[in-house]
Amino acid sequence: MKLLLTGARVIDPAQKIDSRLDVFLENGKIARVGANLSKSTKSKDAEKITKIIDLAGMIIVPGLIDMHTHLREPGFEYKETVASGAAAAVAGGFTSIACMPNTNPVNDNRSITEFIKAKAAEANLANVYPIGAISRNSDGDQLTEFWDLKEAGVIALSDDGKPVMNAALMRRAMEYAHSLQLPVINHCEDIHLSANGAMNESYYSTILGLNGIPAIAEEVMVARDILIAEYTGTSVHIAHVSTAGSVRLIRSAKERGVNVTAETAPHFFTLTDEALQGYDTFFKVNPPLRGEKDVKAIKEGLADGTIDVIACDHAPHARTDKEVEFEYAANGISGLETSLSLSLNLIHSKILSWPELVSRMSTRPARILNLPKGTLKEGADADITVIDPLLPWTVDVQAFRSRGKNSPFHGRQMQGKALMTIVGGEIKYDGR
Amino acid sequence: MKFERKDILGIKDLSVDEINLILETAGSFLEVSTRKIKKVPTLRGKTVINLFYEASTRTRTSFEIAGKRLSADTINISSSTSSVMKGETLIDTARNLEAMNPDVIVIRHSAAGAPHLLASLVKQSIINAGDGAHEHPSQALLDMMTIKERKGNFPGLKVAIIGDIEHSRVVRSNIYGLSKMGATVVVAGPATMLPRDIEQMGVKVFDKMEDAITDADVVMMLRIQLERQKQNIFPSLREYSQRYCLNRNNIKLAKKDVIVMHPGPINRGVELSPDIADDPSFSVILDQVNKGVAVRMALLYLLTGGSE
């Protein structure tokens, strides 16, 4: 399959490209990026080109990568499968996703990793990169076999869903993983401080009578992990940053040269805890939606690069998980199909430039996960997202490819959307 | 004035006019409970279900008596005798009850917001009889009725609420109600029992009880839940009672004609010394219970179209 994409604005922060160019894809790779390729390509390779797609007004970026997805298979197929999650990914503009290990059984050994990879190959949509557990069954007691997991295809380690409470275990995990060039991702939450909390601790938890999760439940562990990385000379990636204090800690650590990276999720720069006033469980997520000053700090952190990555924390759930009393409801938002559009708001509101957004959603996650992706360099994998930057649309959860219809953004007016998702040179989603 | 509401979920939603209408209606029902035959036919043919997911003696009995004195058929469902234990969801329970066509469902639940979930699902009227640490509107209404009877009106009154503010639904409903009616509310308790940003509800906050009750017209003591000690929110009952027990000594700081209230049940000697609890010159606790029936009669009456 050969594709020639013409007329679009091409943005590749890795090569500092941002101009109107053509992109020629051949044999699953990016063959050429340049001006007026249609002419030169035609004369040289005329007979080889099978398809020319005119993308005037559109934006071509290196395939988006979501480094924080929950695919629920094995064990919770009623919420999501590898196939339904991968379909949601390409519909949302993601060519690659990294899936967290909190399945049942937990992805803490080679056989689960291989199972997920086999399911992903069968689905043949997005690239699916399993993340392995740090501890067996994510119980926080014993390290998993990092080397063997890496051999099987794991690209990072995390006990996500749960924090690594034991600081000594975290130290050992970071040291051992560092020697294998495996990133360690931590869900930062001191479970003694967050005990039984259902939402952010604030004026709103007070008036709603719900137990609060204080910002410090996240921040004390962010601080701890930064100190461990600094002391041992290793690195750590902080998952789903939600508070102003975490942003401040990460910023000052980076200034000192500590090898810390961080991600946030679209809901943390879009919504506040004020939204919980109707006890709508679709707004229930962990870490919880925070206050206005946190939202402001998250945006500043994204703008100045303190926060490297926007990740969905795609957490699909079934109706039965959410249609219960608020404190019994499952945490999480089905995010793959709204993440890009919510993130485009950061461009509309001039918080990020286009190259900065592409960096947060493709270049940086590829680098953190050591994936040979996130660029349109000649010879790179032909993973491409085509974005219609202005398309108006309304979120309709019934149209989601994901089995998880749990989105607080249902009915919201959006501007801009993934128009086409190309993985390995093949069109996996076409919204034209 | 016509009462237009489908549900009573919290005092936060009620207007001053609605609160006044409820209190006036309750006033007119007080007399029924003093009759020889304590029954009026007002709600004959109406069905009231008391759906209690949390242990309660006082509130459930009060709602049941209120319904019966109005001639409604009252049915009690409590968590130990129902499908609750079999793992049925609140939504399924609600739809099943709805199919039996009751007129009012009174719900008590340990999860904040459960009555709101129920109200969004069924066409019947829902009364929140206490949800988690959120609201307990009928309690606040009976408290307001008691205060109004003793003190005449609300503007200028200082009401001090003392104890575990964080875990109390009574506090939240009373703060909304009393503030709307013009009273000044102050709260006090150990720092570990004061919820985040409570000041934003428009109350003054103290950690010393003495500062809160000084010159108070009303002192409302809250029940300390003994099991909270395990969560380390206070060191011991002994220390708690030394700092936060209303007694003959510290009550002198309040106004001479202060009234003492308690939503019950009382831990005698912990938050309230027995001689204050039993002294009719201070304590209006049993009066609160008495008003409770009238207030709940008023709520059932107004929700079933009584004001038309």
Q: What is the mean pLDDT of chain B?
A: 94
pLDDT-based confidence at residue B274 (cuts at 50, 70, 90): very high
- Neighboring chain B residues of A194 at a CB cutoff of 8 Å: none
The answer to whether B89 contacts A323, with C-beta atoms less than 8 Å apart, is yes
What is the band of A43 on the pLDDT scale with cuts at 50, 70, 90?
A: low
State the nearest Cα–Cα gap between B172 and chain A, in angstroms. Answer: 7
Q: State yes or no: pLDDT of A50 exceeds 80.
A: no
**What string of DSSP letters covers A300-334?**
HHHHTTSS-EE---B----HHHHSS-GGGSPP-B-
Domains within chain B, CATH numbers bracketed: 11-134+289-303 (3.40.50.1370), 137-284 (3.40.50.1370)
Residues of A designated as active site: 313
Contact residues on chain B for A214, CB-CB shorter than 8 A:
196
Report how far residue A135's alpha carbon sits from residue A140's, in angstroms, rounded to the nearest whole number.
5
Instruction: Identify the contact set of chain A against chain B, taking CB-CB distances under 8 A.
Output: 201-203, 205-210, 212, 214, 278-279, 320, 323-328
Q: What is the DSSP string of A6-68?
A: EEEEEEEGGGTEEEEEEEEEETTEEEEEETTHHHHHHHHHTTT--EEEE-TT-EEEEPEEEEE
Q: Strand, coil or helix: what is B92?
A: helix
CB neighbours of residue A330 within 10 Å? 18
Residues of B in CB contact (< 8 Å) with A are: 12, 89-91, 109, 111-114, 116-117, 131-135, 166, 169, 172, 195-198, 200-201
Q: What is the structure's pLDDT at A48?
A: 63
pLDDT of A39 > 90? The answer is no
pLDDT 10s digits, A168-177: 999 999 999 9
Read off the pLDDT of each residue in B3-11 and give the average, rounded to a whole number: 96
Count of CB atoms within 10 A of residue B58's CB? 14
Does residue A254 surpass a pLDDT of 80? yes
Q: Which residues of B touch A325 (CB under 8 A)?
A: 90, 109, 111, 113-114, 117
Q: Nearest Cβ partner of B89 from A205, A279, A324? A: A324
Chain B residues inside the 8 Å CB shell of A196 = none
pLDDT category of residue B118 using cuts at 50, 70 and 90: very high
Question: What value does the mean pLDDT take over residues B114-132?
Answer: 96
Q: What is the mean pLDDT of residues B121-138?
A: 96
Residue A68: which of A265, A338, A258, A325 has the closest Cα?
Answer: A265
Distance from CA of A295 to the nearest CA of B (A): 18
Inter-chain residue contact B91 with A323, CB threshold 8 Å: yes
Sheet bearing B184-188, strands edge to edge: B204-206, B184-188, B158-162, B218-221, B259-261
Candidates B197, B201, B203: best to mutate against A (most CBs of A within 10 A) is B197
Question: Reduced to 3 states, what is the DSSP secondary structure of residue A166?
Answer: coil
Q: What is the pLDDT of residue B84?
A: 53
pLDDT digits (tens, 9 = 90+) for B40-93: 999 999 999 999 998 888 999 999 999 999 999 999 998 765 555 567 889 999
Residue B108: beta bridge partners?
Answer: B52
Q: Which residues contact A201 (CB under 8 A, 6 or more apart)?
A: A212, A213, A214, A215, B196
A45: confidence class by pLDDT, cuts 50, 70, 90: low
With a cut of 80, say whether residue A164 has pLDDT above it. Answer: yes
Q: Of all residues in chain B, what percent carry a pLDDT higher than 90?
A: 86
- C-alpha torsion sign, points A204, B116, A275, B184: negative
What SS3 state is found at B73?
Answer: strand
What does the pLDDT look like over A132-147, one tens digit per residue?
999 999 999 999 999 9
Q: What is the ipTM of this complex?
A: 0.94
Using CA atoms, how far apart are residues A25 and A32, in angstroms rounded to an integer? 7
pLDDT 10s digits, B170-197: 999 999 999 999 999 999 999 999 999 9
Q: What is the pTM of this model?
A: 0.94
Closest CA to A210 of A163, A271, A265, A278: A278
Distance between A209 CA and the closest CA of chain B, angstroms: 4
**Confidence grade of residue A42 (pLDDT, cut at 50, 70, 90):** low
Q: Given a cut of 70, is residue A125 above it in pLDDT?
A: yes
State what percent of residues in chain A have pLDDT above 70.
98
Residue A130 clears pLDDT 80, i.e. is over it: yes
- Say if the Cβ atoms of A209 and B201 lie within 8 Å: no
* Section B229-249 average pLDDT: 90
Answer yes or no: is pLDDT of A185 > 60: yes
> Searching chain B, which residue's CA lies closest to the CA of residue A319?
B91
Residue B104's pLDDT is 98
Report chain B residues whose CB lies below 8 A from the CB of A201: 196
Res. B144: pLDDT tops 60: yes
Q: Do B89 and A209 touch (CB under 8 A)?
A: no
Mutate to test the interface with A, among B196, B230, B232 (most CBs of A within 10 A): B196
For chain A, domains (ranges, CATH) are: 2-60+385-400+414-430 (2.30.40.10), 63-368 (3.20.20.140)
Give the pLDDT mean for A73-89.
98
Residues of B in contact with A207 (CB under 8 A): 12, 172, 201
Give the span between the Cα atoms of A345 and A169, in whole angstroms. Answer: 39
- Smallest CA–CA separation between A201 and chain B, in Å? 7
